[in-house]
Amino acid sequence: MQKVIEAEDSDLFDVLAYVAFASKPIAREERAEYAKKGIHTSFGEKQEAFLVFVLSQYVKEGVDELDLEKLTQLLNLRYRNSITDAVADLGQPDQIKDAFTGFQKYLYAPSGGVVDGIE
């Protein structure tokens, strides 16, 4: 379906929005740029750096990188297999999980990354 509407670099979300509402698909790279605005204002410097890394993986590999089951793999990749370093930088496991799931709202926010009045 993504190929049919020439949206190979977009998410399934965009394909469905195109089919249902004739909305122009947005490429993952553009979504990631929108999300960076929200991440910058909502997270600390070290969390922001990790989440920007996650966004780069999302752009490169696709939406599956945002699955909670990928979090440990992403932490290992970013922190060279040292979860201890990840916890030292990002906080306790629950805080890391909350940041990982929480930033994702900025990917699909209307108006270029604005969520809850935050730009």
10 lies in a domain? no
118: confidence class by pLDDT, cuts 50, 70, 90: very low
Q: What is the pLDDT of residues 66-99, one digit of tens each?
A: 999 999 999 999 999 999 999 999 999 999 999 9
Number of domains in the chain: 1
Which pLDDT score is estimated for 110?
Answer: 67
The domain in which residue 69 lies consists of 28-110
48 lies in a domain? yes
Cα 31 from Cα 119, distance rounded (Å)? 14
70 lies in a domain? yes
Chain-centroid distance of CA 16 in Å reads 19
62 lies in a domain? yes
